[in-house]
Chains A and B, each alone.
Chain A
Amino acid sequence: MSKKINLTLKVWRQPDNRTSGRFEVYPAQDIDTDMSFLEMLDVVNDELEKEGKDPIAFDHDCREGICGMCGCVINGQAHGPDAATTVCQLHMRRFQDGMTLVIEPWRAKAFPIIKDLAVDRSAFDRVISAGGYISVRTGAAPDAHAVPVPKDSADQAMDAAACIGCGACVAACPNASAMLFVSAKVSQLALLPQGQPERDQRVVSMVSQMDSEGFGNCSNHYECEASCPKEISIKNIARMNRELTRAGVRS
């Protein structure tokens, strides 16, 4: 059953990337425990707006956990305390009356802050642009059944392809590494027969772009896997490292 709780929010406020930020404290009163975390922020923002105050900026869109637009750190955890959950699918029944929630943006050199909790994740787009695709022109494809794909490969590719590009892996990593994100795409395409022709070049090019964006390296903390709302496995990073070695040997 739903009930009402009162919370204290300590929210990171930063007008833009040129100005330094600070925590501001806001009460969140009479919060229905059936609300999602973002609906709770909506309620706080509606009150701020009515008082003529600047509402808390946060990115969000589908609110079904699939677009990857939302994300913030709650009490030190990317996307909050629930496993396999984005903040839009996190519900207030998860918190107790009287709690203080510290809410921060993703913090990483490669994700500059735009405002408050909203960050610029265009580095991810540039990594995909460096090779996260199969170069097939529209209209040039053979019949879909021309190349059978073993079910196991297709399923594993799907596991990796479930990544929503939210950036929690980067935020959770002490090195702000993007290896879980990059390896998910590398794995998906390396596992499929259609991805073979560009396999070597793809991993080299994507990893090189990843490095130049300022993401850190992987030192096996596993924080990325723990914070991933889509439960992307750390095994993908191992696979990416093998792919990179393989490409090096073959070049």
Chain B
Amino acid sequence: MVLDSKVPSGPISEKWTKHKFDLKLVNPANKRKFEVIVVGTGLAGASAAASLSELGYRVKSFCIQDSPRRAHSIAAQGGINAAKNYQNDGDSVYRLFYDTVKGGDYRSREANVHRLAEVSVNIIDQCVAQGVPFAREYGGLLDNRSFGGAQVSRTFYARGQTGQQLLLGAYSALMKEVKRGGVELYPRREMLDLVVANGQARGIVVRNLVTGEIESHAAHAVLLATGGYGNVFFLSTNAKACNVTAAWRAAKRGAFFANPCYTQIHPTCIPVHGDYQSKLTLMSESLRNDGRIWVPKKEGDNRKPSEIPEQDRDYYLERRYPSFGNLVPRDVASRNAKDMCDTGHGVGSTGQAVYLDFRDAIDRLGESAIRSRYGNLFQMYEKIVDENPYKSPMMIYPAVHYTMGGLWVDYNLMSNLPGLHVLGEANFSDHGANRLGASALMQGLADGYFVIPYTLGHYLATHKVEDISTDAPEFKEVEKQAANRIEKLLNINGKRAVNEIHRDLGLLMWDKCGMARNESGLKDALKKIPEVREEFWNNVNVVGSPGSFNQNLERAGRVADFLEFGELLVHDALERAESCGGHFREESQTEDGEAKRDDENFCYVAAWEIDQDGGNPILHKEPLEFEEVSLTQRSYK
């Protein structure tokens, strides 16, 4: 099968403009005849649902939480990129495009990235008009800061709560449309499966998490904005409810899953401190603007940090990457931290941490300046670790944070399954093998506000989508399968808790397919994951009834899907015998230990087709062509 990316012809800077004109339109009076399902209410889902409703479509919006305002976009701290060049420091749409393609280690689609950079400026306009209280200068204009991996200041921010403020902006637009009657809200619903009829995505089957009822919902198109799959590692910075179920179910119905091995490990998280730990907490990488990262030069030096003199400290990022220093991209910073700990320089009780030190910044700028920049982060750190980071350096370690892989989509954000569109972190499209800081918020809102409102109309205008009711046999069959699965989960009656088995899977994934991967480890993981899966289906205990509020059952269903999906992730990592971005294969590195791509053999998107049981992956390749940016070894020296 040939994957058609549908990238328009013409010069890169004109593709999107030309494409918008070429897209077929739906007559304003006809829009209300179309129903659209949007699953997820994060930045991508909420902005899409609101914008499509404004256009006149009838939208049904689903989320797993009790309110659309809780989606995990809310936890993004640092900021959102936009090529406004308000700082007059040489930024441009082209530079943002270039940085993003390069930052993604040349594994993203050029045309998508250019479009992202183009609409980035509209996002800021939109959010300001919604009342998002971005940080401002005394003159009343917007403030910017530089952010991991960029040499210009193009990041807009709202203290350390940028994700929260942007999400509340999108949520307010959504609630405005709820009030107007264009959006129907379905909170506390979990998508259990996708319904395909006549080869088109026509609806979803959900579980009402309060009553336990299985419900069917039909529409003319289905949009998934269901986030990433980082929780396959159990410990990640994701929220507890983040899961792969919606995307995985769609994959089992025929949508291709692209580049699952591209996982981002964020360099600045609070280290693991106990086996009861339920999640890892991120410290915004904006901290790297003022904090200096170091470890003791001597192996096993267990003096207090304040007692280690300057000459005994190794500021390893500044030493190895003099031009970017502490601001190297996330994948580079993470791998270097691991390297330091693996060679015995790690600090803290576990030796799995490095210092992030603000001493020099506090000396230079004063404690109050640092407090105004990072106060909430310092406070959060102190609460969790019980140490004052103004007095002693923070300890940090990398953790799984974001997943660049996702369902395969074309330039119109439609998967290979007609009618199924995928937005935000749930798709694979814009970040290649590594996402730059402050670009997730940009992509989520770009997809929802400025891409899907154009491209969805084209799909509806050019495809014959017959009316369908939820009484159709396609819905009934999927409902039955969903109910059977729940029944099966509740009847295992084993001895172990869901969390325990999820943790087993996570440890295995982190160990064999985490920050560094190699062939024998990956092959080992492919042997062991089915064993964990078997343990789950034979020995887990899921309690309670199907027809009630049952969080144990919810978790069990998600873990069951992670146990299948994890295998595909490892499979993809094994197949991609090159290093690129967040995917580091030990067999493929430069003399300096940097990720070494193999453009001759791996310059493609790996889109996996799986069978109905989630197995027998078949690889489809979308070759990546670079017309604008020449492929080079990334160097931040």
B274 touches A35 (CB 8 A): yes
Q: How far is the CB of B43 from chain A (nearest CB, A)?
A: 13
A66 touches B74 (CB 8 A): yes
B74 touches A158 (CB 8 A): no
B72 touches A61 (CB 8 A): yes
Which of A42, A69, A82, A118 lies at the interface centre, i.e. has the most chain B CB atoms within 10 A of its CB?
A: A69
**Among residues 476 to 509 in chain B, which have CB atoms less than 8 Å away from a CB atom of chain A?**
493, 495-500
B54's nearest neighbour on chain A, judged by CB, is A137
The complex places the Cα of A188 from the Cα of B131 at a distance, in Å, of 8
**Among residues 109 to 164 in chain B, which have CB atoms less than 8 Å away from a CB atom of chain A?**
122, 124-131, 133-142, 158-159, 161, 163-164
B544 touches A54 (CB 8 A): yes
Q: How far is the CB of A138 from chain B (nearest CB, A)?
A: 4
**Among residues 565 to 604 in chain B, which have CB atoms less than 8 Å away from a CB atom of chain A?**
none
B495's nearest neighbour on chain A, judged by CB, is A50
B131 touches A195 (CB 8 A): yes
Which of A52, A66, A121, A150 lies at the interface centre, i.e. has the most chain B CB atoms within 10 A of its CB?
A: A66
Complex partner residue of A46 from B70, B74, B500, B549, CB under 8 angstroms: B500
Q: Does A16 contact B (CB under 8 A)?
A: yes
Given A55-B551, A154-B133, 14 new contacts (CB under 8 A) = A2-B274, A42-B276, A49-B552, A52-B493, A64-B281, A66-B163, A85-B383, A128-B69, A133-B172, A138-B450, A144-B84, A149-B136, A165-B67, A192-B133
B172 touches A134 (CB 8 A): yes
B134 touches A138 (CB 8 A): no
The complex places the Cα of A54 from the Cα of B541 at a distance, in Å, of 11
Q: Mark interface residues in B7-37 (1 if CB within 8 Å of A CB, else 0).
A: 0000000000000000000000000000000
B158's nearest neighbour on chain A, judged by CB, is A158
Complex partner residue of A151 from B66, B137, B175, B499, CB under 8 angstroms: B137
B129 touches A142 (CB 8 A): yes
A residues with a Cβ closer than 8 A to B are: 2, 15-16, 32, 34-36, 38-39, 42-43, 45-50, 52-55, 57, 59-69, 82, 84-85, 89, 91, 93, 114-115, 118, 120-122, 124-125, 128-145, 147-151, 154-155, 157-158, 161-162, 164-165, 188-189, 192, 194-195
Contacts of B172 in A (CB 8 A): 128, 132-134
The 7 closest A-B pairs by CB, nearest first: A148-B140, A133-B172, A141-B129, A158-B133, A46-B497, A141-B125, A138-B51
Complex partner residue of B133 from A15, A68, A188, CB under 8 angstroms: A188
Contacts of B84 in A (CB 8 A): 144
A91 touches B274 (CB 8 A): no
A154 touches B134 (CB 8 A): yes
A93 touches B548 (CB 8 A): no
The complex places the Cα of A150 from the Cα of B139 at a distance, in Å, of 7
The complex places the Cα of A57 from the Cα of B66 at a distance, in Å, of 14
Q: Does B241 contact A (CB under 8 A)?
A: yes
Contacts of B130 in A (CB 8 A): 133-134, 136, 141, 194
Q: Does B252 contact A (CB under 8 A)?
A: no
A138 touches B164 (CB 8 A): no
B86 touches A145 (CB 8 A): yes
Show 8 A/B contacts (Cβ-Cβ < 8 Å), sorted by A.
A16-B548, A62-B75, A63-B281, A69-B66, A122-B67, A139-B453, A141-B130, A194-B129
B239 touches A63 (CB 8 A): yes
Q: Does B386 contact A (CB under 8 A)?
A: yes
Q: Mark interface residues in B156-184 (1 if CB within 8 Å of A CB, else 0).
A: 00110101110010011101101100000
Q: How far is the CB of A206 from chain B (nearest CB, A)?
A: 11
The complex places the Cα of A132 from the Cα of B134 at a distance, in Å, of 18
Contacts of A55 in B (CB 8 A): 543, 551-552
A151 touches B138 (CB 8 A): yes
Report if A32-B274 is in contact (Cβ < 8 Å); known contacts: A128-B175, A144-B142.
yes
Report if A32-B176 is in contact (Cβ < 8 Å); known contacts: A125-B69, A137-B54.
no
A67 touches B70 (CB 8 A): yes
Range for the number of chain B residues in contact with chain A: 35 or more
Complex partner residue of A64 from B75, B136, B137, B241, CB under 8 angstroms: B75
Contacts of A157 in B (CB 8 A): 131, 133
Q: How far is the CB of B55 from chain A (nearest CB, A)?
A: 9
Q: Does B523 contact A (CB under 8 A)?
A: no
A89 touches B383 (CB 8 A): yes
Q: Does B187 contact A (CB under 8 A)?
A: yes
The complex places the Cα of A249 from the Cα of B379 at a distance, in Å, of 43
Report if A121-B274 is in contact (Cβ < 8 Å); known contacts: A49-B498, A89-B380.
no
Q: Does B277 contact A (CB under 8 A)?
A: yes
B residues with a Cβ closer than 8 A to A are: 47, 50-51, 54, 65-70, 72, 74-75, 84, 86, 122, 124-131, 133-142, 158-159, 161, 163-165, 168, 171-173, 175-176, 178-179, 185, 187, 210, 239-241, 273-274, 276-279, 281-282, 379-380, 383-384, 386, 449-450, 453, 493, 495-500, 541-544, 548-549, 551-552
Complex partner residue of B380 from A39, A50, A65, A120, CB under 8 angstroms: A65
B176 touches A135 (CB 8 A): yes
Report if A138-B65 is in contact (Cβ < 8 Å); known contacts: A35-B276, A46-B499.
no
Report if A124-B67 is in contact (Cβ < 8 Å); known contacts: A46-B500, A149-B140.
yes
The complex places the Cα of A49 from the Cα of B276 at a distance, in Å, of 16
A43 touches B67 (CB 8 A): no
A52 touches B541 (CB 8 A): yes
Contacts of A52 in B (CB 8 A): 493, 541, 543
Complex partner residue of A121 from B67, B125, B178, B542, CB under 8 angstroms: B67
Q: How far is the CB of A231 from chain B (nearest CB, A)?
A: 11
B551 touches A57 (CB 8 A): yes
A140's nearest neighbour on chain B, judged by CB, is B129
Contacts of A50 in B (CB 8 A): 495-497, 541
Q: How far is the CB of B172 from chain A (nearest CB, A)?
A: 4
B50's nearest neighbour on chain A, judged by CB, is A138
Contacts of B142 in A (CB 8 A): 144-145
The complex places the Cα of A155 from the Cα of B552 at a distance, in Å, of 42
The complex places the Cα of A50 from the Cα of B239 at a distance, in Å, of 24
Q: How far is the CB of A19 from chain B (nearest CB, A)?
A: 11
Contacts of B542 in A (CB 8 A): 49
Report if A62-B129 is in contact (Cβ < 8 Å); known contacts: A122-B187, A148-B141.
no
The complex places the Cα of A54 from the Cα of B386 at a distance, in Å, of 33
Complex partner residue of A16 from B54, B239, B496, B549, CB under 8 angstroms: B549
The complex places the Cα of A2 from the Cα of B276 at a distance, in Å, of 13
Which of A45, A121, A136, A162 lies at the interface centre, i.e. has the most chain B CB atoms within 10 A of its CB?
A: A136
Which of A46, A61, A125, A165 lies at the interface centre, i.e. has the most chain B CB atoms within 10 A of its CB?
A: A61
Contacts of B141 in A (CB 8 A): 145, 148
B384 touches A62 (CB 8 A): no
The complex places the Cα of A143 from the Cα of B239 at a distance, in Å, of 34
The complex places the Cα of A47 from the Cα of B496 at a distance, in Å, of 9
A134 touches B86 (CB 8 A): no
Complex partner residue of B75 from A39, A67, A148, CB under 8 angstroms: A67
Contacts of B281 in A (CB 8 A): 63-64
Contacts of B135 in A (CB 8 A): 154, 158
The complex places the Cα of A86 from the Cα of B210 at a distance, in Å, of 24
B47's nearest neighbour on chain A, judged by CB, is A138
Complex partner residue of A61 from B65, B129, B384, CB under 8 angstroms: B65
A93's nearest neighbour on chain B, judged by CB, is B386
The complex places the Cα of A142 from the Cα of B125 at a distance, in Å, of 6
A55's nearest neighbour on chain B, judged by CB, is B552
A120 touches B161 (CB 8 A): no
B140 touches A141 (CB 8 A): no
Q: How far is the CB of B423 from chain A (nearest CB, A)?
A: 14
A133 touches B176 (CB 8 A): yes
Report if A67-B168 is in contact (Cβ < 8 Å); known contacts: A55-B552, A137-B54, A141-B129.
no
Which of B133, B386, B544 lies at the interface centre, i.e. has the most chain A CB atoms within 10 A of its CB?
A: B133
